[in-house]
Amino acid sequence: MGFTDLLEEVGGFGRYQWLHVTLISLPGLMMASQNLLNNFVSGIPVHHCRLPGNLSLLNLSITYQMDEQQLLKAFIPPDSSGNRLDRCQRYVEPQWHLLAPNSSDNISKLQTEGCVDGWTFDQSEFFATTVSEWGLVCSLRPLKQMIQTIYMGGVLTGAIIYGGLSDRFGRKSVLIWSYLQLGVLGCSSALSPSYSAYCVFRFLSGMAVSGIILNGVSLSTFNSPVQLFSRSSCLVQCLCLSPEVEWIPTKSRTLVGTLTSFFFTFGQMLLAGVAYWLRDWRKLQVFVCAPHFLFFTYSWWYSESARWLVLNRQSEDALKSLHRVARINGRPEVVDKLTLEVLHSHMGKEIESSRSSFTAFDLLRTRRMRRISACLIAVWFSTSFAYYGLAMDLQKFGVNIYLMQIIFGAVDIPAKFLALGMLSYLGRRVSQVSCLFLSAVIIFANIFVPSDVQTLRTTLACLGKAFTSASFTTVYLYTGELYPTVIRQTGMGFVSTMARVGSMAAPAVLILDEVLPALPSMVYGGAAVLASGFACFLPETLNRPLPDTIEDVEERRSGRSSSQMKETVSLKEDVNSSDDVMPCGGVVTKKGNVAFKDRKDREGSGLNAL
């Protein structure tokens, strides 16, 4: 008996759960906009050096009876490809002779200088961006990527701070505050008078985004452990139970997790449409942040996690929340039956477990735990690293950036279904290795495709994005099944921190294209290859009961965990049929499902059950 049984008694996945999931998932549309906002807010328009102050291109075109673009040849040298004007150099003196027909002068000997008078930006693709407003091009180009790195740093910091606060003050309170913070600071960033001020606002907005995700939307949708851990470990605080998943019965969590993840996917496509419509970074900034005032307004309707209330000695409030859910679900008869005694009897195991104290050091205490943690660090870092490396560099493909964003968002839909199918029939390990390795192969292949073959380059980029997205879906589930219940929160917090580090590093690597155009792709692909190798050493978890203790993880090699030894039914044959010493390339079968049925019904169908 556990809390999941209480959820079934008050209506299971009923009217309250549908409304609750819908309302709490709507901000997911805006989360995608926040994470990928820099693609449009800091888009790089076509540009060239501004002409000397005493010259007007319009007047010159009238005087010389020539097109403005033709006149630019007298002021701006061609770039290294010879196909377009240089973006960072101009001639010291106008070279009028270059306008003559069939001019064949050696332009390499002509004296040039930097853009001392600033730049002229084309407005056909963007009306205004942070790049055009603050001149973040040429020698200042790294500052454009730094905005995204700073934002992701805020997301990491928010995971640490708001994870701890949610353990202390509750999920609902932190979630409400995060909505308000993102609404206020996000809209304030549109008023930033300088680059530095904008970076500060983006950092604080990233913190708020993390508070929303951790407590309401995506990360905890894939993990529903029963344990609340010691507040002394900041890594524990990086991931907390959300109000969304804690009100969802175990058997419905896979479906809910999948559906809510689609809000993020649709949000990517929504961002492209809004950015195309507005084309001004300040207006776009307000558009993606202002809806959080609406989310803040209705978030007071949410019920605090009853599980969190019980484990924090607020059982009466937990009982009121359960009674409220029962009434909304049309189960008023349960109200009289559900008392404090019944609540405590159902949650005895959870209450006892909450008194235990585990820290991040327990992830490295035993040999098997060390191996799992090391492999997951590599997988999480590389998946996030490659994902954001592809998603934050849309302009390099030569395709309309708005169309590219829609395509990149759309490929996540089949990618998620592909991941779910692979997870069910091939197993967790094979799925993880395959997604990482195939994404690396595709990234490497795109290096050798000529830049003028845009269709092939775009297709390969979309496939690479799809496999990294599938890798994300896989690793969320896989991690929750690898770590035991008593330390699952700590493990999820630790490895998700590595993902934040990967997303921070990804934009910085894009700067390496100034050294060698193919270098960023080589780095992203190389990281994915290494991670796929590490994933080979992870144990398989398909059709296996979740480990409850660290000892369960260590004893899996012998075929029986300490908790299984207490069962009266022999599971020896079934455990041997899916032993985790299977080679990396092996495929897991579903033999033995019947013997595990009773235990799986109580622990969930392989997805971070109670």
State pLDDT tens for residues 274-324. Answer: 999 999 999 999 999 999 999 999 888 887 777 777 777 777 887 787 888
Q: Is the pLDDT of residue 443 over 60?
A: yes
429 close to 471: Cβ distance less than 8 angstroms: no
Q: Which pLDDT belongs to residue 171?
A: 78
Q: Which residue has the higher pLDDT, 434 or 316?
A: 434
Q: Quick one: DSSP state of residue 91?
A: E
Q: Is the pLDDT of residue 404 over 80?
A: yes
Tokens 């990233």 correspond to 206
- Beta bridge mates, 121: 47
- The two counts, helices (H) then strands (E), for the chain are 28, 4
- CATH number, span 23-44+123-299: 1.20.1250.20
Q: According to DSSP H, which parts of 483-570 are helical?
A: 488-509, 519-535, 550-555
**Most confident residue range from 30-39, 66-75, 126-135, 233-242:** 126-135
C-alpha pair distances (Å), 35 with each of 264, 333, 537, 593: 10, 45, 31, 40
DSSP-derived secondary structure for 93-150 = S--GGGGSTT----GGGS-EE--TT-EEE--SS-SB-HHHHHT-SGGGHHHHHHHHHH
Per-residue confidence at 199, pLDDT binned at 50, 70, 90?
A: very high
Model pLDDT for residues 252-280, shown as the tens digit of each residue: 566 666 677 778 889 999 999 999 999 99
Which alpha helices (DSSP H) does 483-515 contain, by range?
Answer: 488-509
* Mean residue pLDDT across the chain: 78
Give me the residue label for tokens 């260590």: 554
For the whole model, what pTM was predicted?
0.80
pLDDT in tens, 478-495: 888 888 877 776 787 788
**581 — alpha (psi -120 to 50), left (phi > 0) or beta?**
alpha
Give the pLDDT of residue 542: 84
Per-residue pLDDT averaged across 561-576, rounded?
38
Q: Residues 377-405: what's their mean pLDDT?
A: 90
344/319 Cα distance (integer angstroms): 10
The owner of tokens 């493909």 is: 397
Residue 184 has pLDDT above 90, yes or no: yes
Distance, in Å, from the CA atom of 302 to the CA atom of 289, rounded to the nearest integer, reads 21
SS3 content of the chain, % helix, strand, coil (to 5): 70, 0, 30
**Which pLDDT score, from 0 to 100, does residue 355 have?**
60
Domain boundaries, the chain: 23-44+123-299, 47-121, 359-537, 550-603
- pLDDT of 450 reads 87
Q: How many residues in total does the chain contain?
A: 610
**114-127 average pLDDT score:** 91
Q: What percent of the chain has pLDDT over 90?
A: 34
User: 359-537 has which CATH code?
Assistant: 1.20.1250.20
Tell me: pLDDT of 246 over 70.
Answer: no
Q: What percent of the chain has pLDDT over 70?
A: 77
pLDDT for position 435? 94
Triad 375, 430, 589: Cα angle to 5°: 125
At 494-520, the pLDDT tens digits run: 888 888 899 999 999 998 888 888 899
pLDDT at 354: 60
Weakest-pLDDT range from 172-186, 381-395, 488-502, 595-609: 595-609
Residue with the bigger pLDDT between 93 and 342: it is 93
Calculate mean pLDDT across residues 77-93. 85
Q: Which residues contact 111 (CB under 8 A, 6 or more apart)?
A: 91, 92, 93
Can you give the pLDDT at residue 104? 60
Identify residue 381 by its one-letter amino acid code: F
> How many Å apart are CA 279 and CA 277, to the nearest integer?
6
Q: How confident is the model at residue 528 (pLDDT cuts 50, 70, 90)?
A: very high
Predicted local confidence at residue 330, as pLDDT: 78
pLDDT band at 219 (very low <50, low <70, confident <90, very high): very low
Establish whether domains 23-44+123-299 and 359-537 are of one fold: yes
Helix or strand (DSSP H, E) at 49: strand 47-49
Q: Quick check: 235 pLDDT over 50? A: no
Q: CB under 8 Å to 443, separation ≥6 — which residues?
A: 386, 390, 464, 521, 524, 525, 528
